Chain A
Amino acid sequence: AQSVTQLGSHVSVSEGALVLLRCNYSSSVPPYLFWYVQYPNQGLQLLLKYTSAATLVKGINGFEAEFKKSETSFHLTKPSAHMSDAAEYFCAVEKNQAGTALIFGKGTTLSVSS
C-alpha cells in the first residue's frame, strides 16, 4: 500500500533561511507525489507534483522538490523563507495510480520568524 511519512511535525526557520520539509514515501509502483499547503481554516493548495517526468519539480511560490528513488524521498525546499510561508504542509501520494484518492502524510507546520 502507498504511504508517505513526513519527518518533523514542526519546523521553525528565520525569514530568509532555507526551508526543508522532509517526506519519504512507500510505494509498490512508481508513485505520483504531491505537496500541498494549507492555511488556517482553508482548503488545500497544490504546491507541486511529481508524475514521473523530471525528478526536480518546481512549484509555486518558489518551492521545489526533488524525487529521489534511491532514497524514496520527495523533500520540499525553498531557498529563502518568507513570513507568508508559515502554514501547514502536507506530502501526499496517490492511493493507486491514475487519478485516484490521495494518502496524506501527517503534515508539517512551518513557522517563520523575523
Chain B
Amino acid sequence: GAVVSQHPSWVICKSGTSVKIECRSLDFQATTMFWYRQFPKQSLMLMATSNEGSKATYEQGVEKDKFLINHASLTLSTLTVTSAHPEDSSFYICSASDRFGPNEQFFGPGTRLTVL
C-alpha cells in the first residue's frame, strides 16, 4: 500500500527557533499534499494544501509567513515553523494524494512538536 513518512517523529525546540518537518511519499507520486494540525484530544484542522511546483494554498487564519510550506518534488513536501512559540506546540500530520488513484489520502504518522 501507499506509504507516507514524516521526519522527525518528534522534536523539541526553544522558543524563537525554526523547525522543519518533512513529509515523503515513499512508493508513489503525490501531486498534492496536505498539512493538518491536531491539538491534544481534538480533531485535525487543515492548514494548507500544496501542489508540486506551485505555492501552497493556506486555510483562513493560518499564517503563511509562519508556516512555510514547500512542495519541491512529487515525493517531498516540507513544513517549516518559523520563530516557533509555545502555542505552536502541536501534532502535525501530513497526507498525500496519489495522482493516479481514486479519492484517497494517505496519512503520515505525524510529528509531535514541543516548543519550550
A: residues with CB less than 8 A from B are 32, 36, 41-46, 49, 51, 90, 94-95, 98-107
Residue among A32, A43, A103 making CB contact with B110, cutoff 8 Å:
A43
CB-CB nearest in chain B for A32: B103
B49 contacts A107, CB within 8 Å? no
Q: List 18 A-B contacts (CB under 8 A).
A: A32-B103, A41-B112, A42-B110, A43-B4, A43-B6, A43-B93, A43-B107, A44-B107, A45-B107, A46-B104, A98-B103, A99-B104, A101-B34, A102-B105, A104-B43, A105-B43, A106-B42, A107-B42
Question: With A and B bound together, what is the CA distance between A99 and B99 in angstroms?
Answer: 9
Give the interface SS of chain B, mostly helix, strand, loop or mixed: strand
Give the interface SS of chain A, mostly helix, strand, loop or mixed: loop
A103 contacts B104, CB within 8 Å? no
Near A by CB (< 8 A), chain B positions 1-20 give 4, 6
Which residues from B are CB-within-8-Å of A36? 107
A99 contacts B49, CB within 8 Å? no
Which residues from A are CB-within-8-Å of B112? 41
Which residues from B are CB-within-8-Å of A102? 34, 44, 46, 95, 105
